[in-house]
Amino acid sequence: MDILYSSSDSYAFLTGISLLSLLENNKESSEINIYIMDNKITEENKSKLVSIAEKYGRNMYFVPMPDMKALTGQEIDTRRWNISTFGRLYMAGVLPDTVHKVLNIDCDTIIVDSLEPLWNTDMSGKVFGGMLECINDRYRRNVGKQNGDYYLNGGIVFLNLDEVRKNNYEEKFTDYIRVYGSSLAYLDQDVLNGVVEQEKKIKLPMRYNTLSIYFYATYEQILKIRRSRAEDFYSKEEFTDAVNNPALVHFTTCFLDGLRPWIKGNRHPYLDVFLHYKELSPWRDVPLQDDNRSSFAKQRTNLVRKMPKFILCETASLLHGVIIPERNYKKMKRRINK
């Protein structure tokens, strides 16, 4: 397996914890090569990352992060994300030609089962594989896609590098970023979904990217919140299997909690599992971060935790199903019309 993480120094400890969980649960794999797209990681943290790979007898390589300003001719406002998230778009150009496909894994994850079945997915004729986002057609419209087309989450990005190289997708990605720049609501995720054609995408099993919200809300509540049709998402059976038997847990931001496992006060069901791998890692002695949010943000989380679910779902449905995608659409239209 060829695995890539894109990381800055501030996320190096999360990358290490995720990597350790991956290697611990994939000991039977005959070969695992780890690539770290390096956005100014310190030598100290690089040494710690290398020590994890060496412990399991795996190869690790650091590859350069593309200069996004030089590529696109502009500064991109990435808001709460790091610029390194764009790195996955340029894997074909920085990885050796002998790497034909690669799994990019977000660093805010833990892997709790083998990834071999995922790695063995037939990517013939495909460019981009990922897990379906539970969204409505407003989000698809925003990236120029048709109703019902796949809109895949960027937490796990399975790229067929041969197809990317053959059809110059990196150039297409760059052109898309030049057009939309800081108006991209979900950065590289929007780029991948906006550029890659429907027939070149492949939907992967949900259990390989189980988002935080899936642990806090029911299947019906998720559909309600996102105003999505069941036929555009996974079945209830697939959803239940992913929650009860995940292979990869993705600690995404979630309004139903407000915090993530490396911050004090988090309540994620897999918090103890995250802490277990942290304890095994070179960052075991690094304390959990304090909750430094504003008083308003803390009060909002407390209110959400106490609010009846039916009221919460109605409110979130309006926000996430209508207001947010419409706001994002207006930003993109203003960008184009400049």
Torsion sign, CA atoms 301, 18, 5, 222: negative
Report the distance separating Cα 5 and Cα 89, nearest Å.
Answer: 12
Distances (CA, A) of 257 to 18, 213, 216: 21, 9, 8
Distances (CA, A) of 336 to 73, 180, 277: 16, 7, 45
pTM of the model: 0.93
Report the distance separating Cα 174 and Cα 90, nearest Å.
Answer: 9
Report the distance separating Cα 212 and Cα 136, nearest Å.
Answer: 19
Q: What is the DSSP letter of 323?
A: I
Report the distance separating Cα 128 and Cα 136, nearest Å.
Answer: 20
Do residues 14 and 107 lie in contact, with contact meaning Cβ atoms separated by under 8 Å? yes
Query: What local confidence, expressed as pLDDT, does residue 335 receive?
Result: 85
Rounded mean pLDDT for each run of 10 residues along the chain, 338 residues in total: 94 97 97 94 97 97 87 80 82 93 96 97 96 94 93 93 96 91 88 95 97 95 94 96 98 90 95 98 96 91 86 90 92 83
Do residues 111 and 91 lie in contact, with contact meaning Cβ atoms separated by under 8 Å? no
Which residue segment(s) compose the domain that 298 sits in?
Answer: 2-337
Query: What local confidence, expressed as pLDDT, does residue 288 receive?
Result: 96
Query: What local confidence, expressed as pLDDT, does residue 142 receive?
Result: 92
Q: Tally the C-alpha atoms within 13 A of residue 166's C-alpha that lie toward its C-beta.
A: 11
Sorted by sequence, the CB contacts under 8 Å of residue 170 that are 6+ apart come out as 89, 90, 92, 93, 164
Query: What local confidence, expressed as pLDDT, does residue 338 receive?
Result: 67
Do residues 53 and 60 lie in contact, with contact meaning Cβ atoms separated by under 8 Å? yes
Can you give the C-alpha Rg of the chain in angstroms?
A: 19
Report the distance separating Cα 60 and Cα 52, nearest Å.
Answer: 9
Query: What local confidence, expressed as pLDDT, does residue 197 receive?
Result: 96
333's tokens: 């239209």
Q: How many CB atoms lie within 10 A of CB 239?
A: 22
Number of domains in the chain: 1
33's tokens: 């090569």
Please report, for the domain that includes residue 142, its CATH number.
3.90.550.10
Do residues 226 and 320 lie in contact, with contact meaning Cβ atoms separated by under 8 Å? yes
Widest pairwise Cα distance in the chain: 54
Distances (CA, A) of 78 to 16, 85, 212, 241: 23, 9, 22, 33
